[in-house]
Chains A and B, each alone.
Chain A
Amino acid sequence: MTELIPTSELPDSSDPDHLVKRSRGGFFLGAPVFLWMGLFFAIPYLLLFLQSFWEPTAFGVARDWSLDNYREVLGASQLAGDIYLPTLFKSIKIGAMVTAFSTALAFPLAYLLAFKVKRSRNRMLLYTLVVVPLWASYLLRAYAWKVILGQNGLFASMLSILGLENTFLSDLLYSEAAIVIAMTQIFTPFMVLTIYAVLERLPQNLIEASKDLGVGRLSTFRRVVLPLSLPGVVAGATFTMGLSSGDFVAPMLVGGESDVMIANQIYSQFGATNNWPLGSAIAFVLLAFVAILVWISTVAEKREQI
């Protein structure tokens, strides 16, 4: 699911005293879950992985094992040339920009919510105002940006009324910039929520102690608030980065003809181009990228905790 969940990760297992090692209850609880998730979840991913080593044929797929698909994706095949790796890098670049912008936009608001809005009713109201666009449908928000930044859209008509059609401002239409703007708006509420969740739990007395010791507000922020909120920022950024680099809905709606992202290439291999094995290989390269991302953020979070 491309959508976003506020509780970003499961914390590690709770109080070990409560954990039961082996029991019939656990078996009856676990068996259906394992069976279902194994059958309808593990097997699909496994088949996708196997398929990435097979060959496409005119009718579908031949089960001849090779690394050809990965060679093609990684640009080592002379026939296909080098199109997938640059697209992956471009997608990562767009994802990184979206992550940077939405983090920068979200942090001050989360800070405002956590420390400056004192009345809990106001805070609840503002919090809900942040959540509403988050759940007001991914597709609709991407669609709205198409209305604003698309061909014959609102922004284009504003430019033509103002006589600015041929300035740099028209570069915002149907472009990489449009994708970044749209996805930044889509992911900012999510970043606000994850950062707020950490800031809210910061011990107030730590901040007051820092102030009592004569540390200025800016240095308190830099030395106390910022380092302690990093785990939330890292967790939120990981999600935003993975999901925005791998999106195809927003790029297809607001991007131009040439603004294809890696997920669009997977999409077309499983659709019009009909080369499922190659599509599977691209999917697994993208999956590897997300896995590396998660690994880096886990390492970063562990460092922070020391």
Chain B
Amino acid sequence: MRRRAFSSQAASYRLLAVYGAFLFAFLYLPLVVIAVFSFVDNDVSALPLGSFTFERYTEVVQNPAVIQALQNSIVVAVGAVIIATSFGVPGALLVDRYSFPGKHIFQKFVLLPLILPGVITGVAFQTFFQMTGIHRSLLTVTLAHGTALVSTVLTTVYARLLRLDRSPEQASLDLGVSPTKTFFLVTLPAIRTSIIAGALLAFTLSFDEIPVTTFTIGAESTLPMYIWSALRSGNQLPELNALATLIAAAGAVLVVIAALLTREESD
């Protein structure tokens, strides 16, 4: 009886493991497919596979439109991170430590861009820039991204603040250190990694953004917009596979850094 129970447990564990393997295959299939097609000389991403080549990567690296779009994306993402962090961190402190009228509404309202489909935020900004007569450019994209990403930094930092041990702060205040000094010497170091993690998250989100970008951009292009319009114009350029693989690899590196940072803190 006991033995049977044991072996059925082992069997169900094995079943779960097989299931896990299948699910990972499903999750990674698309990424593997583009990576494979980025290294062959097929004009269309279809079977049979052609012969191995690095040409797609040299094409991408030498394409001035791609380089320009990459530069624009970095400029936008850095600007967005600056905006999101400078309002997200005070916002998190505010929600964590102060009570003020309309706090519940503020808490819900700030989170809107997380739950709302991006298209709504996008057309809201398009309407705003049109009515205020602000010319659409990379600046408007940065402003829209940064404002929408305040929520991302705010949630990440707030989650850390909730778990923060308050006694060191209290000790510092009791010892007569000013609140401002306490903040910079005690609180800030304790939440530093969550700020970095939130900023990294905001960076990758902005770097990848389509829905808000389409409605706020002018004549320039960001990297996702470049891919998006190439796809929409119908010509499935083979070098897009190489570009996609490069972006995915860069994204993975950022994720691992963010994961390591947040883990260090929780230890």
Known contacts A2-B211, A253-B231; A280/B123 CB under 8 A: yes
**Binary per-residue interface labels of chain B (185-226) against chain A in the complex, 1 for a CB within 8 Å, 0 otherwise:** 000000000000000010011001111101100000000100
Does A131 reach chain B (CB closer than 8 Å)? yes
A51–B123 alpha-carbon span in the complex (Å): 11
**Binary per-residue interface labels of chain B (45-82) against chain A in the complex, 1 for a CB within 8 Å, 0 otherwise:** 11110000000000000000000000000000000000
What B residues does A112 contact at CB under 8 A?
A: 16-17, 19-20
Q: Is the interface of B mostly helix, strand, loop or mixed?
A: helix
Flag if A32 contacts B16 (CB, 8 Å).
no
A30–B110 alpha-carbon span in the complex (Å): 13
What B residues does A40 contact at CB under 8 A?
A: 128, 143-144, 147
Flag if A242 contacts B128 (CB, 8 Å).
no
Flag if B205 contacts A1 (CB, 8 Å).
yes
A247–B214 alpha-carbon span in the complex (Å): 13
A18–B232 alpha-carbon span in the complex (Å): 53
A238–B37 alpha-carbon span in the complex (Å): 35
What A residues does B119 contact at CB under 8 A?
A: 246-248, 263, 266-267, 283, 286
Q: Chain B residue with minimal CB distance to A249? A: B210
**Binary per-residue interface labels of chain A (133-154) against chain B in the complex, 1 for a CB within 8 Å, 0 otherwise:** 1111111110111111010111
Does A174 reach chain B (CB closer than 8 Å)? no
Q: Is the interface of A mostly helix, strand, loop or mixed?
A: helix
Flag if B128 contacts A144 (CB, 8 Å).
no
Does A71 reach chain B (CB closer than 8 Å)? no
A243–B20 alpha-carbon span in the complex (Å): 25
Identify which of residues 19-46 in chain B touch chain A, using a CB-to-CB cut-off of 8 Å.
Answer: 19-20, 23-24, 26-31, 33-34, 37, 44-46
Identify which of residues 237-267 in chain B touch chain A, using a CB-to-CB cut-off of 8 Å.
Answer: 240-241, 244, 247-248, 251-252, 254-256, 259, 263
Q: What is the size, in residues, of chain A's interface with B at 8 Å between Cβ atoms?
A: 99
Known contacts A47-B127, A153-B46; A246/B94 CB under 8 A: no
Known contacts A139-B224, A286-B120; A133/B31 CB under 8 A: yes
Flag if B45 contacts A147 (CB, 8 Å).
yes
Q: What's the least CB distance linking B253 to chain A, in Å?
A: 10
A85–B224 alpha-carbon span in the complex (Å): 31
A112–B159 alpha-carbon span in the complex (Å): 25
Binds B, one of A7-15, A76-84, A164-172, A224-232: A7-15
A22–B17 alpha-carbon span in the complex (Å): 54
What A residues does B244 contact at CB under 8 A?
A: 137, 140, 143-144
Flag if B127 contacts A280 (CB, 8 Å).
yes
What A residues does B121 contact at CB under 8 A?
A: 1, 44
Q: What are 18 sample pairs from A and B whose C-beta atoms fall under 8 A apart?
A: A11-B162, A13-B95, A14-B161, A18-B96, A20-B97, A21-B98, A26-B97, A33-B150, A43-B128, A47-B127, A132-B255, A140-B31, A147-B241, A161-B47, A246-B117, A248-B211, A266-B123, A287-B116
The 4 A-B pairs with the shortest beta carbon distances in the complex, nearest first, are A246-B117, A144-B30, A157-B46, A44-B128
